Every structure is written in C-alpha cells, then in structure tokens.
Amino acid sequence: MSTKIVADSCCDLNDEIKKNVKVSIVPAVIHLEGETYKDDESLDVAAFLKKMRNSKEVPKTACPSPQEFIEKYKGEEDVFVVTVSSALSGTYKSAVLARDIFFEQVGKKFIHIFDSLSASVGETLISLKIHEFVKGGHLRTEIVDKVNRYIKEMKTFFVLENLDNLMKAGRISPMVAKVSNILNIRLIMAGTEEGTIRLHEKVVGAKRAIKRLAELIGEQSTHLEDKVLGIAHCNCLEKALKLKEEVMKRYKFKDIIIVETAGVSTVYANEGGLIIAF
C-alpha cells in the first residue's frame, strides 16, 4: 500500500525536501489590514514581511478548514498527518474532524493524525521521520508508535529578535519592547511537553543568542550522532549558517537541515527569528 504524508503550512520545507519527500501541504490563512493571504507557494514572504513590518496591526492566522484536509485524504493511499501543536492552533482539531467526516461520507481508510507538539521545522523533522519509517518497510502500528516516541523526545527552541508582533498583540508593553531593542536583548523560547511555549531565558546580543542555542542542544539531548537538527530562519540565512557552524564545532549530528519560514511561521518568528528542533 502506498503512503501519503500531509502537513499544514506551518511545516517549513526547502527545495531538497520537496524534491525527495512528498509532503502534501494544507495551507493556513493569514489576515492583515483587511487582506487575506493563503499560506502556499503563491505567498511572497518577503513582500509580506515588509507589509507586516510597516503595519500597526498584528497579523492573525486561521487554521485550514476540514474540507481542505478532506481533499488531501482522498485516494487509495494510507495517510499520515502532521499538524502544528494543538496547544497553539485549532489545526489538529480540524484535521481530526475532517477524518471523521471522511469516514462518514467517503469510507474508512487508514488516516493517522500526529499532534507535533511543535511547529515549523519540528513538523518538518516529524514528516521526514515518517518518510524514513515508511521507506524502511515498517508496519502502520510500528510507525505510529515510533513517531509518537520521537515527538515525545523532540526538543524545540527559538530565538525572537523582533518583538513588534508581541507588542502589537499586547503581549508585552511598548516600553519593554523599546528597552529590549536598546539593550539588544534576545528572548530564547522553548517548547514544553504539552506543546505550549515558555520563556527559557534572555540573552544580550545576536551572537550570544546563537552560541547559547548551540549550547542548549548539548544540555538538552544526547546521542546526537543518531539525530537530525532542523534549523528554520525568518529572512536571516546568514544567522542560520552561523548557528550550523557553531553546532558543527561541538557535535556530530546525523544531518543538519536548514529551511526558511513560510507564512505562518514567519508571523510568529518574525524577521530575524531562528527556530531549532532536534
């Protein structure tokens, strides 16, 4: 039986992954200043970043509808679905509802939905892991068990350089954002076991933030030679490459992949943001 991997558009991919691993993306929607943007390959992320930068509003995102998931479920293939953390979005619920409707209206087939408890490149790594197990000839139940274990063990961190969206959304005061910019403070955020986000620590300076991210990898995980590190960047490839360099000085990962954030990840990471998962 052939297999299909489906993910929402918070799963950030690069050209190499798109070429070698078939991941069907279900696009979310972004609203800003009365305009609606579909988070697919038609979205000009650079132009959207510019508009976001110049806007007084904070962008709002909407999860894909069940119908959009249903379209991806069609066909004879087994389907594995990866969604952004259910603690951050209604996308997981939309995917589950779509499965229930599909079973009722079309018929039963294998559809398993994974709550990534992460986002961005975390979803990417989970999709790659599913692909690896499918190619390895594992049974459906084995894949579900192995991927759930992988999700439970995976760590996600990200660095916020631009606090504008947090300020516009009222999460932090304009004074705090201003002081943070003046003092060159970077916020290192961490994903929790429940799939929420917490402030891990504050560091001063972009260079220090990159080094601290690299240090955290060694503090948070072991057996890195068997793991893949995912790095997502929001319009800051140079910083992503610098982080990769710092990581390679310290550890021997099985592989390191770099992706650029698409629309939804761009809204939350904002310009200069880095996300890592491992």
CB neighbour class for 138 (10 Å; exposed up to 12, middle 13-18, buried from 19): middle
Q: What is the pLDDT of residue 94?
A: 98
Q: What is the pLDDT of residue 171?
A: 58
Q: What is the pLDDT of residue 182?
A: 83
Q: What is the pLDDT of residue 165?
A: 77
User: Tokens 């038609």 appear where?
Assistant: 42
- Show Cβ contacts of residue 21 under 8 Å, excluding neighbours closer than 6 positions: 5, 127, 128, 131
Q: What is the pLDDT of residue 221?
A: 94
- Where the chain has pLDDT below 70, the residues are 169-172, 176
Architecture of domain 156-277: 2-Layer Sandwich (3.30)
HSE-CB for 275 with a 13 A CA cutoff: 29
Fold of 3-28+63-153: Rossmann fold (3.40.50)
Q: What is the pLDDT of residue 167?
A: 74
pTM of the predicted protein model: 0.94
Q: What is the pLDDT of residue 219?
A: 97
What does the domain layout of the chain look like in residue ranges? 3-28+63-153, 156-277
Strands 29-32 and 60-62: antiparallel
User: For residues 177 and 159, what is the distance between their CA atoms, to the nearest angstrom?
Assistant: 15
